[in-house]
Structure 1
């Protein structure tokens, strides 16, 4: 069968089961990979079309007034599908509607073989930025004349399918074989297409140098270039002149280049610190162009001194920006070659060996795992890095990926046949040869606290987004245990009779069968699982029963409870300690049995695997001892988080050092030649003393520099603060939330939406969202809320930019790193000043410690943290010289309190209006 019929429908809603009806049909016929026919018709739905469908499609009740009904056209439509595949971009939707309408008039449902282009694109273009039709049309350069109209969408889907068929016919034999094995689990009927490709390749001698085939797996052949040594003849000043000054490289390679004074100053400051072996704190306000400003001296210094330099960022977003935008630009700006490598933690890289074992095994997969395997098979033909962050895996695919990440491999073994293909080892080798290594704070800290064994050795580093270093270092020096993770590890081990890991080891190595008592293992395993359940349920109940200040809601809605090992007096706590001790005892016994098994094994890889499992169980023991049995309350803060409405054992346990500054000083700043710490937000009231103290930087080896923004804030921004909002006292926020919702609506009318509203509490965000949802009767505004609207932060941002009149409500992660330049954002509302709750576990422990030392925790910890966060939020609004906007701060403490000026004097000088809400709305309206 070589006839494919593509269908797209417009309907009155999303669900045929809810009596929604088809209002437009678009059909395109493909034969011999050519579009040969088309058909379209409007249909009368016998009901009125909802306004939002009219807004989306442009189809009105008037358009369908004289249209035929579905019954009139049913035979014509069905006839088109004879002896063909049915293709749609989301088959369940289109075929579901078609069959519901056919059943309703007593006709036979369609049973054609189907191909779903959403699914097939996920498999064949796994690195696409998204799988909606519009996004794919842009990504694959298919013209899309009329989105959300049936015939136009059908044409785009048809062209997409022709591209997919083309891509399929480029796949190598091994990949096709594995896809055939997965095919029966997929929604699309791909058997014929895959078999044709397999048959075409059967007698074909591969001349393909692009791919390697090993143990039944085909993957891209990535060759590592050797490093060339370079001699630099120009001085650093001449080098900068040739880039920044008149007729320099910047002018030639950047459109509309305007010289920014601060950018060159930052480059010089960075280079001077390298030369004098000093550390530096550089605050570069928005618009400085700080990435370029620190990269230029770093590359010059690394190449000249032949010593690599580390660049660490907090977000993967900034890493991508450096690699995809800044580095290619610098290659044009400088006259010498240099090498850059990205290095992440092991868990980011796929293990080819583990994946080959999975695809070669005979186990039955569920849909998500089958789809994930199919995506990975094609991705391996394309990826140079093996970094899983290049893909958008389905949600259950993430769990499958955990089983095959390089993190599960144990110690690297150069004698293993897979070693030379390992992506993680390649990334390490590439990093060894690079001038610049880009990494993240997490790996930087892991390396720092593990005697520098993860990153290649270095003496100089740039830490961007440096306001996050303290928090990341604390997390990595501390520990986290949670029920779900421990449960998963135990489930993977399994008992005899379940066909899991332990049984497979014995099955594959029958000679060691007698080295482990199956009955003893099964008894111990059952006891450990029971104890784990019991321990975490008891902890959950204990937290629920506690009252008072130690119990607070986190910004993601979890209940947090801080405890001190020696102060918890209740009998229930003693029970918890006894249970933790029993749990440790059982885990030790499991380790003992695994050690005996490991001694009998001869296969090196399997031995490694057993050793890796022992290490994980040992880390659970260390964690339980640290959290419940050791008296380390003076140095560590410990707390429990529970999902208030989650399962009765959804429990997370944490421990962090109360003060990381001395650890950072000893492990990092005292042993490195020069560390440059930069961010747009390091100062409070122009002073660096807060961040210097928190990070443990000694004054004698430190230089500081504040570089102002080149933007004209006084012309581009107005700050407005209402003087008539109700007080938002703890527990009594309803009136305040109502006033906030009303202000959002009034401002949205003035700015046509395009508003970002930042909350400090998820609870307040949720309540405001539902108030707004009731109030927004008209279809005027699109409301998008973090944690309520589905999708990642990047997806929510994209939706916000797609709809003209949208309002985006965000909490914690939206306060920074979200760039929405230009007209997409005209108004930023800050609902409350971003203080952490005073009873947040870490803050509370730190403030107790500070009081003991005679320090003022509010002025020396809470306030500086809030000011830095406020500056981050404020920075969302103006991202270029052409942006204009309003910052509306609902919290009058910024004017009324004795500490308010710390906030206003830490942002650029801008006109501030403090007035009634009504007057502010008038001013806003005039200004726009």
Structure 2
């Protein structure tokens, strides 16, 4: 308890001491007996100018350090503070590395203390934290942080964070601590003593926490409802009718008065009417309508009054969670009636306690990411009631480990298995069966549809939010995807009989089966199959490379795409690919046959572990799925019209090939398999119409006009006062081969607008190639000390990480492609300018567009007006919607593509968005107007 912990934080001229960056400020805090007992703080003269971006970040100027001591003058004093102590920092490699570099360059010994990294420890002990940056962690844990990016303030916050982390360790159950002790040696932080003290404390005392269950050495939060704090709502259902609906069945104004939105009330009534009339409905609710609450209230009323479950489906699992975390609590306040609501995702989202417990007991050596992943999951299990992995952010390669311990790997689980009653997925299914409202996502909804409605509880009515994604999601579920990494990963996990993977271990555990199992035959066929996979995917890669450039297109993440169809049958090279695919399927069938023989042999074992049999069955199914995919892609002519294409990483491995197949037309499938099967499906989104017409979306989804109600609800925002639409009339025409000139003009406009809006720009591209070229040009011309330039696919991180980085820096420019056109909310002053570089038409040689276009032409339809234009308009509306997210937002939409004015179809774009002031003029005139307007 009397151990000494010394926390350090540095401010420096840059990130690289090896490149002569220097320390400009040190802050140190000493902790003993769980209290802060001492501090040290000093500026240091770096003997070099402080870069402006460091001054902007820290507030430290050249004037502040001009009379400060040189580092060597205080070096010994700093070393003495660390005598016989732990060294703690928020990102130890940076602070300790920098400090030791300075000490060594001044002739002092380097520090070799035991270290504790509060970034690592926070990831482990607060796995549900939204971010691990010091400022955001402090906010999350309610630690005051008065002076961010100043050394002593950051050191104090890190010290307080460490004390909270110590408390967290001391709150963990014995089982969790014991597992963490086994993992500790692979961590960066030396926390053995902290964990050992807690283990010993618990070993001789009784850990009392009714909320924690234990089984087979694993501790996890109890999900027994009798132990949970439940809010039993006793309000009589009759009161609900009086409060919400008038006697004539219309929505009562008073209920929605918490924020007056006429559009919200109108939408609620439309949903209510569609349910009552048992009709389908298309409702376009523009930004700001409050559509979530508008559909939830009538859905709850309908479900409870009719005693029939209603499904609500969102596009992403994040939107599902947002509904549960933000909207449902509000509904409970507004509508105090007894209704049950549940959330259900696919099996792959839920952790399997059984699989995780077995993985913990495995002797296999782990790398750092897997060790950290296990540690995070161990702590998370003491907190989660859902077991939904989306609650935490795992390290990147941690997801590979998680895949092995998700419920998806369990196969069918026996209800008599002791783990069954502890299964998060089974509990989620049970809640789903009992729910009045079940929230799910399009992927699971379509998987359920594809599997004859065997996965979700039965329903007759549903609300599809973000409905413009339904066709695309359904296409993926009626189609397939196969790639080299997945196939090789599946085979490698099985292994041959000698490489120590799954099969070798299984045969070792049951040595009697070695005699009956054809070991040599397996190894021979297995190695041939592995070789054939390599050969086939290399051949496919080469085939795509050799096709004429005009037949290929680039995906939005820069992959080369190539569509293959009947034409290939005349090619000698393609016939070789068919032969190779056929040969591979034969090898894979032989492997299944040998595994089937092994299964029969194992069934005769008296003490056979059911888990081994389940895993064997799962592996046979995984191999069969690869066979089915290969046959559908290369070897069969199915009745349904499919588009098939390949994507390759142009500069990736020579077998990095991704294979896809999707139906060309989903309308008949959705009509027959979904809409005709259900009483009432409400489809809503902010982008369903083109020029106020729903005909495009109706045709794509197979909705019959006489059974479908349509409503368009306008945004309550004052767009004419909040937005300026600007289009330059002097940009080079891209049609005449002036791509480089067009990109140059675009970059010039970005730089000019950035000065007017202080950054805060989102630039949307339709082509990854154009984004990359623009980024490279901007990097050469932009003041990198003033603006933070972030580019999708170039700057590291996920979409949400890039968005957070964009919002963290005051003067940021974010370049995005496809996924940034929608679902990105950047409200307020964080975004003042949206630039749309090109109207978002898909390239004519994009595989899916090309196939759908041909399909329409065969039916005598105009592919441009039936497909290309409506898709582009809806995409444009999504992009336009990024700018104004609240009634207080203001900004400019700058469209570089003059076709929106000059082309005869341009009015389809301008008349599909809210009416806004539009200026078509020279770039200079637009800049002058933008300056005046802001």
Q: Same fold (TM over 0.5)?
A: yes
**Cα distance in 2, alignment partners of residues 118 and 405 from structure 1:** 26
Deviation at 1:550, TM superposition (A): 2.7
* Pair 1:572-2:587 in alignment: no
* Pair 1:430-2:436 in alignment: no
Deviation at 1:742, TM superposition (A): 0.7
**Cα distance in 2, alignment partners of residues 235 and 57 from structure 1:** 55
Alignment of structure 1 residues 51-90 onto 2, 5 Å: 51-90=52-91
* Pair 1:644-2:650 in alignment: yes
**Cα distance in 2, alignment partners of residues 778 and 484 from structure 1:** 38
* Pair 1:773-2:774 in alignment: no
Alignment of structure 1 residues 480-491 onto 2, 5 Å: 480-491=481-492
Structure 1 partner of 2:125: 124
Deviation at 1:409, TM superposition (A): 0.7
**Cα distance in 1, alignment partners of residues 784 and 532 from structure 2:** 55
Structure 1 partner of 2:312: 311
What's the secondary structure of 2:570's corresponding residue? coil
1:630 to 626, 633, 636: 636
In structure 2, relative to structure 1, the CA distance for the partners of 1:565 and 1:524 (3 Å cut) is farther
The answer to whether the 8 Å contact 2:353/2:419 transfers is: yes
In structure 2, relative to structure 1, the CA distance for the partners of 1:926 and 1:228 (3 Å cut) is closer
Structure 1 partner of 2:606: none
Structure 2 partner of 1:34: 35
Query: Which stretch of the first structure deviates more once superposed, 131-140 or 45-54?
Result: 45-54
Deviation at 1:330, TM superposition (A): 0.6
Deviation at 1:569, TM superposition (A): 2.1
2:721 to 688, 694, 715: 715
In structure 2, relative to structure 1, the CA distance for the partners of 1:247 and 1:867 (3 Å cut) is closer
Deviation at 1:45, TM superposition (A): 1.8
1:839 to 828, 840, 845: 845
The answer to whether the 8 Å contact 2:822/2:882 transfers is: yes
**Cα distance in 2, alignment partners of residues 718 and 534 from structure 1:** 56
**Cα distance in 2, alignment partners of residues 665 and 181 from structure 1:** 56
**Cα distance in 1, alignment partners of residues 590 and 234 from structure 2:** 55
**Cα distance in 2, alignment partners of residues 778 and 793 from structure 1:** 22
The answer to whether the 8 Å contact 1:230/1:303 transfers is: no
The answer to whether the 8 Å contact 1:244/1:264 transfers is: no
**Cα distance in 1, alignment partners of residues 219 and 866 from structure 2:** 57
Deviation at 1:415, TM superposition (A): 1.8
Structure 2 partner of 1:724: 730
2:918 to 912, 917, 923: 912
* Pair 1:460-2:465 in alignment: no
| Cα deviation code 1:772-808 (max 9, x no counterpart) | 2222226332222111222221222222222222211
In structure 2, relative to structure 1, the CA distance for the partners of 1:28 and 1:235 (3 Å cut) is closer
Structure 1 partner of 2:472: 471
Alignment of structure 1 residues 32-431 onto 2, 5 Å: 32-224=33-225, 232-233=237-238, 239-240=244-245, 248-251=254-257, 254=258, 257=259, 259-431=260-432
2:624 to 618, 643, 656: 618
| Cα deviation code 1:721-774 (max 9, x no counterpart) | 111100113864100011011111111222222211111011111111122222
The answer to whether the 8 Å contact 1:8/1:153 transfers is: yes
Deviation at 1:565, TM superposition (A): 4.2
**Cα distance in 2, alignment partners of residues 643 and 241 from structure 1:** 60
* Pair 1:803-2:797 in alignment: no
**Cα distance in 2, alignment partners of residues 521 and 247 from structure 1:** 72
Query: Which stretch of the first structure deviates more once superposed, 743-752 or 352-361?
Result: 743-752
**Cα distance in 1, alignment partners of residues 306 and 251 from structure 2:** 25
**Cα distance in 1, alignment partners of residues 235 and 467 from structure 2:** 31
Deviation at 1:6, TM superposition (A): 0.5
When normalised by structure 2's length, the TM-score is 0.97
Query: Which stretch of the first structure deviates more once superposed, 820-829 or 471-480?
Result: 820-829
* Pair 1:607-2:613 in alignment: yes
Query: Which stretch of the first structure deviates more once superposed, 40-49 or 190-199?
Result: 40-49
**Cα distance in 2, alignment partners of residues 566 and 380 from structure 1:** 54
* Pair 1:738-2:739 in alignment: no
| Cα deviation code 1:358-397 (max 9, x no counterpart) | 1112221111110110000000000111111111111111
* Pair 1:879-2:880 in alignment: no
Deviation at 1:438, TM superposition (A): 0.8
| Cα deviation code 1:292-349 (max 9, x no counterpart) | 1000000111111111111101123322221111111110001312111111111111
The answer to whether the 8 Å contact 1:224/1:430 transfers is: no
* Pair 1:559-2:560 in alignment: yes
Structure 2 partner of 1:786: 792
* Pair 1:702-2:708 in alignment: yes
What's the secondary structure of 2:194's corresponding residue? helix
Query: Which stretch of the first structure deviates more once superposed, 408-417 or 512-521?
Result: 512-521
What's the secondary structure of 2:42's corresponding residue? strand
**Cα distance in 1, alignment partners of residues 858 and 150 from structure 2:** 68
In the alignment, structure 1 segments of 5+ residues that lack a partner are none
Query: Which stretch of the first structure deviates more once superposed, 272-281 or 707-716?
Result: 707-716
In the alignment, structure 2 segments of 5+ residues that lack a partner are 604-608
| Cα deviation code 1:673-729 (max 9, x no counterpart) | 100000001011111010001000112211111111111211221111111100113
2:897 to 886, 891, 899: 891
The answer to whether the 8 Å contact 1:564/1:633 transfers is: no
What's the secondary structure of 2:838's corresponding residue? coil
When normalised by structure 1's length, the TM-score is 0.97
Structure 2 partner of 1:25: 26
* Pair 1:924-2:910 in alignment: no
Deviation at 1:233, TM superposition (A): 2.6
Structure 2 partner of 1:684: 690
Deviation at 1:913, TM superposition (A): 1.1
Query: Which stretch of the first structure deviates more once superposed, 66-75 or 241-250?
Result: 241-250
Query: Which stretch of the first structure deviates more once superposed, 242-251 or 408-417?
Result: 242-251
Q: CA RMSD in A?
A: 1.8
